[in-house]
Amino acid sequence: MGTEGDTFFIAHLTWNEVARRIAAGNPAILPIGAAAKQHGFHLPLNTDQVQAEWFAAKLAARIDALIWPAVTYGHYPAFVAYSGSASLSSSTFEAMVQEIAAGILRHGCELLFVLNTGISTLAPVERALEQLGSRKVSHLRIYDGPRYRHVREELCQQSHGSHADELETSLMLALAPGLVDMARAEASPAVPRDTPGRLTPTNPASPNYSRSGSYGDPTLATLAKGEALLSAILDDLHEQVDALLLEKARASPARAKR
């Protein structure tokens, strides 16, 4: 027996079912989330992929979208010193996203949402989509909405952070608690700037030293914080997606009346 997600992820469908739903006007979602990127001692390497597919499934259920397989390799240069972490060059990653998105549009999809869970991937994805020159594509940034920023400012206790930290760990406690080992969570030392360079697990003299790979303090994470952050992200995504769907419907009144 399949799961509810089987009806949205194209990997679980036949090609003619995908074609039928594209012809019916179903939107497409392309999740981007690393599957080989360290997330401290307490989270698995596929943390970003888990988040990307979770948010994609929530959106798909709301708007009856088709979800393409996640892009699990990307441009993550800050983490390559940690075993298992992989990073493509910015140009390679950009070209890959552009080609995948172009292929989705060639099948006739009328609207494509590229759902991005990264930070270092934001600029390459933006460039890739700009090169497509299509108004049918929208870049959804998970951590960029006004509600999320407001809740983050209200709840965040750590002095610094942006990776496997208080916020990301709280999110994972809310959406995939079985993947979080809070007993192994370890804070990183503060660094002398907001965004560190390439983190190192082996050089305590470096300003970018983090033994665990976390950047921030995941020990401050809680389920309650995660639930609040999760709700804010979903509200931000829903508002952005609903606005784009309304714009599309206004531009295509004949289809909207079906």
Rounded to an integer, what distance in angstroms lies between the CA atom of residue 139 and that of residue 216? 27
Burial classification of residue 148, based on how many CB atoms lie within 10 Å of its CB (0-12 exposed, 13-18 middle, 19 or more buried) = buried
Q: What is the CATH number of domain 4-249?
A: 3.40.50.10310
Are the beta carbons of 89 and 117 closer than 8 angstroms?
Answer: no
Whether residue 194 is predicted with pLDDT greater than 70 in this model: the reply is no
Question: Which residues in the chain belong to E strands, given as ranges?
Answer: 28-32, 66-67, 112-116, 137-141
Residues 13-40 have a mean pLDDT of: 97
Residues of the chain above pLDDT 90, percent:
86
Are the beta carbons of 77 and 198 closer than 8 angstroms?
Answer: yes
Q: pLDDT tens digit string along 105-159?
A: 999 999 999 999 999 999 999 999 999 999 999 999 999 999 999 999 999 999 9
Q: Which of 188, 228, 230 has the alpha carbon at shortest distance from 208?
A: 188
Say which residue, 6 or 173, is predicted with more confidence: 173
What is the pTM assigned to this prediction? 0.93
Rounded to an integer, what distance in angstroms lies between the CA atom of residue 255 and that of residue 52? 30
Q: pLDDT tens digit string along 34-74?
A: 999 999 999 999 999 999 999 999 999 999 999 999 999 99
What is the reported pLDDT for 221? 98
What is the reported pLDDT for 256? 45
> Which are the contacts of 244, defined by CB distance < 8 A and separation ≥ 6?
111, 113, 138
